[in-house]
Amino acid sequence: MNPEEFETALAKKGIILNERQLEQYQIYYDYLIEINQVMDLTNIVEKNEVYLKHFFDSLTLAWAYPNLQTQALKLVDVGAGAGFPSLPLKIAFPQLNIVIVDSLQKRINFLNQLIEKLELDGVQAIHQRAEIFGAKNASTRATFDVATARALKAMPMLVEMTLPLVKQGGVLLAMKGSRASEELRAASEAIPTVGGAVEAQIDVDLPNGDARKIVVIKKIKNTPAKYPRKFSDIKNKTL
């Protein structure tokens, strides 16, 4: 998917990008590749692949959850790495308020430099572990409309580390593949334990035929104060 195909595919979804936004995606790509030469940010480096598997894939959240396109939602991206999916969303929908949380300082440094190059307002990159960021005494707990995390794979771990950050009525948007149903079964106890309920599973196939499923988990009640637990417990003693 080259930049022209990227623009056309989004237009078919009703997402019209202006020249500045298209320029921002190009700046994003150029800087990602530049820094990736000295820092392991992504294994996907060919331009068409980045536009498809990073930029376009990130934006699938916007038609799985259309409020992202029009509302000034507060979104937290946990373990964002090189900024996916939150920064491609921010470029397309500048009204969003984005907080990116990552445990590695050098990734936060990259993201802050990228945010500056893209001239984005309403974006904050924070060096912190997600389970600490969402701890019971944190001012960030239960304050976000939307949470997402593309890097965290195990659904029980994902919900425990993200749902405490979401306020009641908000959602977790989990980006999954063909094993989404299997992962949901594994998280059948974890999701209600931390205050969530599965609202929808939405298929959003990529133009190359790759299958993607967005699992929408709604926050229906407050997360008990003991969650999230220490990372070692989250990892080794899943709910």
The annotation places the binding site for S-adenosyl-L-methionine at 79, 84, 130-131, 150
Residue pair 101/80 in contact by the 8 Å Cβ criterion? yes
Evaluate if residue 29 carries a pLDDT over 80: yes
Confidence bin at 108 (pLDDT 50/70/90): very high
Q: If you average pLDDT over residues 62-81, what whole number do you get?
A: 94
User: What's the pLDDT tens digit per position in 178-231?
Assistant: 788 888 999 999 999 999 999 999 998 788 878 789 999 999 999 999 999 998
Residue pair 208/52 in contact by the 8 Å Cβ criterion? yes
Q: If you average pLDDT over residues 118-147, what whole number do you get?
A: 91
Evaluate if residue 144 carries a pLDDT over 90: yes
pLDDT for 151: 67
The annotation places the binding site at 79, 84, 130-131, 150
Looking at the chain, which runs of residues are DSSP E strands? 74-78, 97-102, 123-127, 144-148, 166-176, 196-203, 213-219
**Fold of domain 3-236:** Rossmann fold (3.40.50)
Q: Quick one: tokens of 77?
A: 């991206």
Evaluate if residue 92 carries a pLDDT over 90: yes
Inter-CA distances, 104 with 2, 9, 81, 111, 114, Å = 31, 34, 8, 11, 16
pLDDT for 125: 96
- The chain-wide mean pLDDT, for the chain, equals 93
